Structure 1
Amino acid sequence: MEKALSVWLIDDDTELTSLLSEYLCHNGLACEIFNLGAPVLTALKQGKLPDLMVLDVMMPGLSGLQLLPSIRSHTDVPVIMLTGRGEEIDRILGLELGADDYISKPCNPRELLARVQAVSRRYNAIPQQVKKAQQNLSFHGIALDLGTLECTYMEQKIELTGIELSVLSELMKHSGQLISKADLTERILHRKLTAYDRSIDVHVSRVRQKLKQAGLTQDIIKTVRGQGYQFIAA
Protein backbone atom coordinates (compact mmCIF):
# COMPACT_ATOMS: atom_id res chain seq x y z
CA MET A 1 0.00 0.00 0.00
CA GLU A 2 1.30 3.44 -0.94
CA LYS A 3 2.35 5.58 2.01
CA ALA A 4 0.00 8.51 2.72
CA LEU A 5 1.43 11.96 2.04
CA SER A 6 2.27 13.52 5.41
CA VAL A 7 1.46 17.20 5.91
CA TRP A 8 2.19 19.55 8.82
CA LEU A 9 -0.43 22.26 9.26
CA ILE A 10 1.24 25.14 11.11
CA ASP A 11 -1.25 27.85 12.06
CA ASP A 12 -2.49 29.34 15.35
CA ASP A 13 -6.11 29.26 14.11
CA THR A 14 -7.29 26.05 15.77
CA GLU A 15 -10.66 26.06 14.04
CA LEU A 16 -9.06 26.43 10.60
CA THR A 17 -6.41 23.75 11.17
CA SER A 18 -9.06 21.34 12.45
CA LEU A 19 -11.21 21.96 9.37
CA LEU A 20 -8.30 21.61 6.95
CA SER A 21 -6.94 18.52 8.71
CA GLU A 22 -10.32 16.82 8.59
CA TYR A 23 -10.66 17.51 4.86
CA LEU A 24 -7.11 16.50 3.94
CA CYS A 25 -7.28 13.31 6.03
CA HIS A 26 -10.62 12.44 4.45
CA ASN A 27 -8.81 12.64 1.10
CA GLY A 28 -6.04 10.24 2.07
CA LEU A 29 -3.40 12.52 3.57
CA ALA A 30 -1.83 12.20 7.03
CA CYS A 31 -1.90 15.49 8.94
CA GLU A 32 -0.23 16.80 12.07
CA ILE A 33 -1.26 20.14 13.55
CA PHE A 34 1.07 22.73 15.12
CA ASN A 35 -0.56 25.86 16.54
CA LEU A 36 2.77 27.48 17.45
CA GLY A 37 6.13 27.68 15.72
CA ALA A 38 8.41 26.51 18.55
CA PRO A 39 7.13 22.88 18.58
CA VAL A 40 7.91 22.69 14.85
CA LEU A 41 11.58 23.43 15.54
CA THR A 42 11.59 20.86 18.35
CA ALA A 43 10.19 18.21 16.00
CA LEU A 44 12.77 19.04 13.32
CA LYS A 45 15.63 18.81 15.82
CA GLN A 46 14.33 15.39 16.79
CA GLY A 47 14.68 14.32 13.16
CA LYS A 48 10.98 14.31 12.33
CA LEU A 49 10.04 15.37 8.80
CA PRO A 50 6.77 15.56 6.86
CA ASP A 51 6.44 15.36 3.09
CA LEU A 52 5.12 18.94 2.99
CA MET A 53 4.36 21.87 5.31
CA VAL A 54 1.55 24.41 5.20
CA LEU A 55 2.79 27.45 7.13
CA ASP A 56 0.86 30.54 8.22
CA VAL A 57 2.68 33.85 7.81
CA MET A 58 1.19 35.49 10.91
CA MET A 59 1.40 33.57 14.19
CA PRO A 60 1.99 34.71 17.78
CA GLY A 61 5.49 34.22 19.10
CA LEU A 62 7.48 32.80 16.20
CA SER A 63 5.85 33.98 12.96
CA GLY A 64 5.88 31.97 9.76
CA LEU A 65 8.38 34.34 8.17
CA GLN A 66 10.69 33.94 11.19
CA LEU A 67 10.23 30.17 11.25
CA LEU A 68 10.82 29.51 7.55
CA PRO A 69 14.62 30.17 7.51
CA SER A 70 15.02 27.71 10.40
CA ILE A 71 12.95 25.14 8.52
CA ARG A 72 15.15 25.62 5.46
CA SER A 73 18.28 25.06 7.56
CA HIS A 74 16.95 21.57 8.35
CA THR A 75 15.18 20.48 5.18
CA ASP A 76 14.14 21.38 1.63
CA VAL A 77 10.70 19.73 1.85
CA PRO A 78 8.04 21.83 0.11
CA VAL A 79 6.46 24.67 2.09
CA ILE A 80 3.18 26.35 1.11
CA MET A 81 2.66 29.71 2.84
CA LEU A 82 -0.77 30.85 4.03
CA THR A 83 -0.95 34.62 3.47
CA GLY A 84 -3.55 37.33 4.01
CA ARG A 85 -5.59 38.02 0.90
CA GLY A 86 -3.93 40.78 -1.09
CA GLU A 87 -0.79 40.82 1.08
CA GLU A 88 1.69 40.69 -1.80
CA ILE A 89 4.65 41.63 0.37
CA ASP A 90 4.10 38.54 2.55
CA ARG A 91 3.98 36.30 -0.52
CA ILE A 92 7.19 37.77 -1.92
CA LEU A 93 9.00 37.55 1.42
CA GLY A 94 7.88 33.96 1.83
CA LEU A 95 9.21 33.01 -1.59
CA GLU A 96 12.46 34.88 -0.96
CA LEU A 97 12.92 32.94 2.28
CA GLY A 98 12.45 29.60 0.52
CA ALA A 99 8.71 28.88 0.28
CA ASP A 100 7.64 26.88 -2.75
CA ASP A 101 4.13 28.27 -3.18
CA TYR A 102 1.49 30.30 -1.40
CA ILE A 103 -2.26 30.40 -0.98
CA SER A 104 -4.39 33.27 0.35
CA LYS A 105 -6.54 33.00 3.48
CA PRO A 106 -9.31 32.22 4.01
CA CYS A 107 -8.56 29.25 1.79
CA ASN A 108 -10.91 26.66 0.37
CA PRO A 109 -9.90 23.18 1.65
CA ARG A 110 -10.39 21.77 -1.84
CA GLU A 111 -8.02 24.38 -3.32
CA LEU A 112 -5.44 23.65 -0.60
CA LEU A 113 -5.64 19.94 -1.37
CA ALA A 114 -5.04 20.66 -5.06
CA ARG A 115 -2.05 22.88 -4.22
CA VAL A 116 -0.58 20.30 -1.85
CA GLN A 117 -0.87 17.56 -4.46
CA ALA A 118 0.55 19.78 -7.24
CA VAL A 119 3.52 21.01 -5.17
CA SER A 120 4.27 17.47 -4.00
CA ARG A 121 4.24 16.11 -7.56
CA ARG A 122 6.44 18.98 -8.68
CA TYR A 123 8.92 18.44 -5.84
CA ASN A 124 9.18 14.70 -6.44
CA ALA A 125 9.56 15.19 -10.21
CA ILE A 126 12.45 17.67 -9.99
CA PRO A 127 15.29 15.12 -9.69
CA GLN A 128 13.95 13.20 -12.68
CA GLN A 129 13.56 16.40 -14.71
CA VAL A 130 17.11 17.48 -13.97
CA LYS A 131 18.55 14.03 -14.72
CA LYS A 132 17.02 14.03 -18.19
CA ALA A 133 19.94 16.13 -19.39
CA GLN A 134 22.52 14.03 -21.24
CA GLN A 135 25.56 15.35 -19.44
CA ASN A 136 26.71 17.32 -16.44
CA LEU A 137 26.62 21.07 -16.86
CA SER A 138 29.56 23.40 -16.27
CA PHE A 139 29.95 27.12 -16.94
CA HIS A 140 31.87 29.93 -15.23
CA GLY A 141 33.19 27.56 -12.55
CA ILE A 142 29.65 26.41 -11.77
CA ALA A 143 29.26 22.63 -11.98
CA LEU A 144 25.90 20.90 -11.84
CA ASP A 145 26.27 17.16 -11.26
CA LEU A 146 23.14 15.56 -12.66
CA GLY A 147 23.91 12.24 -11.01
CA THR A 148 24.15 13.44 -7.41
CA LEU A 149 22.03 16.59 -7.98
CA GLU A 150 24.78 18.70 -6.43
CA CYS A 151 25.83 22.18 -7.47
CA THR A 152 29.30 23.58 -6.81
CA TYR A 153 31.20 26.76 -7.59
CA MET A 154 34.98 26.29 -7.80
CA GLU A 155 34.40 22.94 -6.00
CA GLN A 156 32.54 24.69 -3.14
CA LYS A 157 29.10 23.14 -2.62
CA ILE A 158 26.09 25.41 -3.02
CA GLU A 159 22.95 24.41 -1.13
CA LEU A 160 19.97 24.76 -3.48
CA THR A 161 16.36 23.79 -2.92
CA GLY A 162 14.75 21.46 -5.44
CA ILE A 163 13.10 24.30 -7.33
CA GLU A 164 16.30 26.40 -7.35
CA LEU A 165 18.21 23.40 -8.70
CA SER A 166 15.62 22.96 -11.42
CA VAL A 167 15.72 26.69 -12.30
CA LEU A 168 19.51 26.69 -12.62
CA SER A 169 19.49 23.45 -14.60
CA GLU A 170 16.89 24.78 -17.04
CA LEU A 171 18.83 28.01 -17.59
CA MET A 172 22.19 26.24 -17.98
CA LYS A 173 20.79 23.64 -20.39
CA HIS A 174 19.64 26.52 -22.60
CA SER A 175 22.67 28.75 -22.05
CA GLY A 176 22.80 31.67 -24.45
CA GLN A 177 19.07 31.42 -25.14
CA LEU A 178 16.33 33.67 -23.85
CA ILE A 179 13.69 31.77 -21.86
CA SER A 180 10.47 33.61 -21.18
CA LYS A 181 9.03 33.85 -17.67
CA ALA A 182 5.93 32.07 -18.96
CA ASP A 183 8.00 29.12 -20.23
CA LEU A 184 10.04 28.92 -17.02
CA THR A 185 6.88 29.01 -14.92
CA GLU A 186 5.34 26.16 -16.90
CA ARG A 187 8.54 24.07 -16.98
CA ILE A 188 9.49 24.58 -13.34
CA LEU A 189 6.27 25.31 -11.45
CA HIS A 190 3.96 23.40 -13.81
CA ARG A 191 1.34 26.14 -14.00
CA LYS A 192 0.45 29.04 -16.25
CA LEU A 193 2.02 32.42 -15.54
CA THR A 194 -0.65 34.81 -14.28
CA ALA A 195 -0.70 38.57 -13.86
CA TYR A 196 1.34 39.80 -10.87
CA ASP A 197 2.83 36.32 -10.30
CA ARG A 198 6.44 36.91 -9.27
CA SER A 199 7.19 33.39 -8.05
CA ILE A 200 9.69 32.51 -10.79
CA ASP A 201 11.40 35.92 -10.42
CA VAL A 202 11.98 35.25 -6.74
CA HIS A 203 13.36 31.75 -7.35
CA VAL A 204 15.78 33.12 -9.98
CA SER A 205 16.78 35.87 -7.54
CA ARG A 206 17.55 33.28 -4.86
CA VAL A 207 19.75 31.33 -7.28
CA ARG A 208 21.64 34.54 -8.10
CA GLN A 209 22.04 35.34 -4.42
CA LYS A 210 23.44 31.90 -3.58
CA LEU A 211 25.89 32.02 -6.50
CA LYS A 212 27.08 35.42 -5.30
CA GLN A 213 27.45 34.16 -1.72
CA ALA A 214 29.58 31.30 -3.08
CA GLY A 215 31.98 33.85 -4.61
CA LEU A 216 30.76 34.32 -8.19
CA THR A 217 31.23 38.02 -8.93
CA GLN A 218 29.80 38.02 -12.47
CA ASP A 219 26.02 38.10 -12.86
CA ILE A 220 25.64 35.26 -15.34
CA ILE A 221 21.82 35.27 -15.35
CA LYS A 222 20.70 38.18 -17.50
CA THR A 223 17.25 39.69 -17.06
CA VAL A 224 15.61 40.79 -20.30
CA ARG A 225 12.96 43.19 -19.02
CA GLY A 226 9.45 42.20 -19.89
CA GLN A 227 10.61 38.99 -21.58
CA GLY A 228 12.53 36.58 -19.41
CA TYR A 229 16.00 35.31 -18.47
CA GLN A 230 19.17 34.26 -20.27
CA PHE A 231 22.13 32.31 -18.89
CA ILE A 232 25.32 33.86 -20.25
CA ALA A 233 27.30 31.10 -21.92
CA ALA A 234 30.67 32.75 -22.44
Structure 2
Amino acid sequence: MRILAIADEESKYLWDYFEKSKLEGIDLIISCGDLDPRYLSFLATFTSAPVLYVHGNHDTKYAQVPPDGCICIEDKIFVYKGVRILGLGGSMRYHAGDYQYTEWEMKRRVAKLWFQLVRRRGFDILVTHAPAYELNDGRDLPHQGFRIFLTLLEKYKPKFFIHGHVHMAYGRKHKRYDKYQETHVINAFERCVFDFEDDNVKDHI
Protein backbone atom coordinates (compact mmCIF):
# COMPACT_ATOMS: atom_id res chain seq x y z
CA MET A 1 0.00 0.00 0.00
CA ARG A 2 1.49 3.34 -1.05
CA ILE A 3 0.66 6.20 1.32
CA LEU A 4 0.95 9.95 0.82
CA ALA A 5 1.44 11.68 4.18
CA ILE A 6 1.00 15.47 4.37
CA ALA A 7 1.18 18.11 7.11
CA ASP A 8 1.71 21.75 8.05
CA GLU A 9 2.40 23.32 4.67
CA GLU A 10 0.39 22.95 1.46
CA SER A 11 2.62 21.45 -1.22
CA LYS A 12 2.94 23.64 -4.31
CA TYR A 13 3.90 20.46 -6.16
CA LEU A 14 0.46 19.02 -5.41
CA TRP A 15 -1.69 22.18 -5.39
CA ASP A 16 -0.24 25.03 -7.46
CA TYR A 17 1.34 22.73 -10.05
CA PHE A 18 -1.09 19.87 -9.80
CA GLU A 19 -1.27 17.09 -12.37
CA LYS A 20 -3.55 14.14 -11.80
CA SER A 21 -0.71 11.79 -12.67
CA LYS A 22 1.05 12.86 -9.45
CA LEU A 23 -1.52 10.91 -7.45
CA GLU A 24 -1.35 7.78 -9.58
CA GLY A 25 -0.43 4.75 -7.50
CA ILE A 26 -1.38 6.42 -4.22
CA ASP A 27 -3.64 4.09 -2.21
CA LEU A 28 -4.19 6.29 0.84
CA ILE A 29 -3.67 9.95 1.82
CA ILE A 30 -3.12 10.86 5.48
CA SER A 31 -3.10 14.44 6.76
CA CYS A 32 -1.37 15.10 10.08
CA GLY A 33 -2.94 18.53 10.48
CA ASP A 34 -2.44 22.28 10.07
CA LEU A 35 -3.51 22.27 6.44
CA ASP A 36 -6.15 24.32 4.61
CA PRO A 37 -9.33 22.19 4.47
CA ARG A 38 -9.76 23.29 0.83
CA TYR A 39 -6.42 21.62 0.08
CA LEU A 40 -7.67 18.30 1.46
CA SER A 41 -10.95 18.68 -0.45
CA PHE A 42 -8.96 19.40 -3.61
CA LEU A 43 -6.89 16.23 -3.25
CA ALA A 44 -9.99 14.16 -2.47
CA THR A 45 -11.58 15.37 -5.71
CA PHE A 46 -8.78 14.00 -7.87
CA THR A 47 -8.20 10.61 -6.31
CA SER A 48 -10.19 7.52 -5.44
CA ALA A 49 -7.92 6.98 -2.44
CA PRO A 50 -9.45 7.79 0.96
CA VAL A 51 -8.19 11.04 2.52
CA LEU A 52 -7.88 10.67 6.29
CA TYR A 53 -7.06 13.50 8.68
CA VAL A 54 -6.47 14.58 12.25
CA HIS A 55 -6.52 18.18 13.44
CA GLY A 56 -3.51 20.36 14.01
CA ASN A 57 -3.48 23.14 16.60
CA HIS A 58 -4.26 25.71 13.90
CA ASP A 59 -7.25 23.86 12.40
CA THR A 60 -10.05 25.75 14.15
CA LYS A 61 -11.51 26.67 10.74
CA TYR A 62 -12.45 23.01 10.19
CA ALA A 63 -15.54 23.53 12.36
CA GLN A 64 -16.93 25.96 9.77
CA VAL A 65 -15.24 24.57 6.64
CA PRO A 66 -14.74 20.82 6.99
CA PRO A 67 -12.76 19.16 4.20
CA ASP A 68 -15.30 17.68 1.80
CA GLY A 69 -14.94 14.02 0.91
CA CYS A 70 -12.42 13.38 3.69
CA ILE A 71 -12.59 11.21 6.81
CA CYS A 72 -11.73 12.45 10.29
CA ILE A 73 -10.03 9.71 12.31
CA GLU A 74 -9.73 11.56 15.63
CA ASP A 75 -10.01 9.20 18.61
CA LYS A 76 -10.76 6.13 16.54
CA ILE A 77 -9.13 3.21 14.79
CA PHE A 78 -9.94 3.35 11.09
CA VAL A 79 -9.31 0.14 9.16
CA TYR A 80 -8.45 0.29 5.46
CA LYS A 81 -7.49 -2.82 3.50
CA GLY A 82 -6.71 -4.54 6.77
CA VAL A 83 -4.41 -1.77 8.03
CA ARG A 84 -5.45 -0.36 11.43
CA ILE A 85 -4.90 3.40 11.69
CA LEU A 86 -5.25 5.27 15.00
CA GLY A 87 -5.72 9.06 14.95
CA LEU A 88 -4.88 11.50 17.77
CA GLY A 89 -4.62 15.12 16.63
CA GLY A 90 -3.69 18.28 18.46
CA SER A 91 -0.62 19.72 20.14
CA MET A 92 0.61 20.41 23.65
CA ARG A 93 -1.52 23.13 25.26
CA TYR A 94 0.34 26.44 25.26
CA HIS A 95 -2.67 28.79 25.45
CA ALA A 96 -6.46 28.58 25.34
CA GLY A 97 -7.70 27.12 22.08
CA ASP A 98 -9.10 24.09 20.30
CA TYR A 99 -6.99 21.03 19.54
CA GLN A 100 -4.54 21.73 22.35
CA TYR A 101 -4.08 19.32 25.26
CA THR A 102 -2.10 18.86 28.42
CA GLU A 103 -0.28 15.57 28.85
CA TRP A 104 -3.04 14.48 31.25
CA GLU A 105 -5.77 15.36 28.73
CA MET A 106 -4.04 13.37 25.99
CA LYS A 107 -3.66 10.41 28.36
CA ARG A 108 -7.38 10.63 29.05
CA ARG A 109 -8.14 10.52 25.33
CA VAL A 110 -6.01 7.41 24.98
CA ALA A 111 -7.66 5.77 28.01
CA LYS A 112 -11.06 6.15 26.34
CA LEU A 113 -9.78 4.10 23.40
CA TRP A 114 -9.34 0.93 25.46
CA PHE A 115 -12.31 -0.91 23.93
CA GLN A 116 -11.25 -0.11 20.35
CA LEU A 117 -7.68 -1.15 21.13
CA VAL A 118 -8.83 -4.46 22.57
CA ARG A 119 -11.33 -5.08 19.78
CA ARG A 120 -8.83 -4.28 17.01
CA ARG A 121 -5.92 -5.88 18.86
CA GLY A 122 -3.85 -2.74 18.60
CA PHE A 123 -3.04 -0.73 15.50
CA ASP A 124 -0.54 -0.60 12.63
CA ILE A 125 -0.17 3.16 12.11
CA LEU A 126 -0.33 5.93 14.71
CA VAL A 127 -1.30 9.28 13.16
CA THR A 128 -0.85 12.41 15.25
CA HIS A 129 -0.16 16.09 14.77
CA ALA A 130 2.39 16.50 17.55
CA PRO A 131 5.48 14.29 17.82
CA ALA A 132 6.29 12.11 20.80
CA TYR A 133 8.27 13.44 23.76
CA GLU A 134 11.99 13.81 22.95
CA LEU A 135 11.46 12.03 19.63
CA ASN A 136 11.97 14.68 16.96
CA ASP A 137 10.10 17.27 19.03
CA GLY A 138 11.05 20.79 20.16
CA ARG A 139 12.01 21.80 23.67
CA ASP A 140 9.67 24.81 23.68
CA LEU A 141 6.20 23.98 25.07
CA PRO A 142 4.23 24.57 21.81
CA HIS A 143 6.37 22.00 19.95
CA GLN A 144 6.99 19.57 22.78
CA GLY A 145 5.74 16.04 22.18
CA PHE A 146 3.53 13.80 24.31
CA ARG A 147 4.94 11.07 26.56
CA ILE A 148 1.78 8.98 26.11
CA PHE A 149 2.68 8.50 22.43
CA LEU A 150 5.86 6.71 23.53
CA THR A 151 3.74 4.48 25.76
CA LEU A 152 1.53 3.60 22.79
CA LEU A 153 4.57 2.77 20.63
CA GLU A 154 6.12 0.63 23.35
CA LYS A 155 2.92 -1.29 24.12
CA TYR A 156 1.43 -1.85 20.66
CA LYS A 157 4.55 -1.68 18.47
CA PRO A 158 2.87 -0.26 15.34
CA LYS A 159 4.79 -0.39 12.10
CA PHE A 160 4.54 3.38 11.53
CA PHE A 161 4.15 6.56 13.56
CA ILE A 162 3.33 9.58 11.36
CA HIS A 163 3.25 13.11 12.76
CA GLY A 164 3.59 16.74 11.74
CA HIS A 165 3.86 19.99 13.74
CA VAL A 166 7.66 20.32 13.75
CA HIS A 167 8.41 21.97 10.42
CA MET A 168 11.55 20.81 8.70
CA ALA A 169 11.92 24.43 7.53
CA TYR A 170 12.32 25.70 11.12
CA GLY A 171 16.09 25.45 10.96
CA ARG A 172 16.23 22.81 13.68
CA LYS A 173 17.63 19.43 12.77
CA HIS A 174 14.29 17.69 12.57
CA LYS A 175 14.44 14.33 10.81
CA ARG A 176 12.15 13.12 8.03
CA TYR A 177 12.71 9.55 9.19
CA ASP A 178 13.55 8.03 12.54
CA LYS A 179 12.91 4.80 14.37
CA TYR A 180 11.71 4.08 17.90
CA GLN A 181 12.16 0.46 18.90
CA GLU A 182 10.25 -1.43 16.18
CA THR A 183 8.34 1.58 14.79
CA HIS A 184 9.29 3.68 11.78
CA VAL A 185 8.74 7.37 12.58
CA ILE A 186 7.92 9.80 9.75
CA ASN A 187 7.69 13.58 9.91
CA ALA A 188 5.02 14.29 7.26
CA PHE A 189 5.93 17.99 6.84
CA GLU A 190 4.62 19.15 3.42
CA ARG A 191 4.56 15.74 1.74
CA CYS A 192 6.10 12.29 1.94
CA VAL A 193 5.26 9.08 0.07
CA PHE A 194 6.12 5.67 1.50
CA ASP A 195 5.09 2.03 1.14
CA PHE A 196 3.45 0.37 4.13
CA GLU A 197 5.09 -2.96 3.29
CA ASP A 198 8.57 -1.46 2.92
CA ASP A 199 10.95 -2.24 5.79
CA ASN A 200 13.58 0.13 4.37
CA VAL A 201 11.53 3.31 4.44
CA LYS A 202 12.32 5.95 1.84
CA ASP A 203 10.54 8.84 0.22
CA HIS A 204 9.08 7.98 -3.21
CA ILE A 205 8.63 11.63 -4.24
TM over 0.5: no
**Richer in strand (by share):** 2
Structure of larger gyration radius: 1
TM-score grouping bracket, smaller chain normalisation: 0.3 to 0.5
For CA contacts below 8 A with separation 6 or more, give which structure has more relative contact order.
Answer: 2
**Richer in helix (by share):** 1
Q: Using structure 2 for the length normalisation, give the TM-score.
A: 0.35
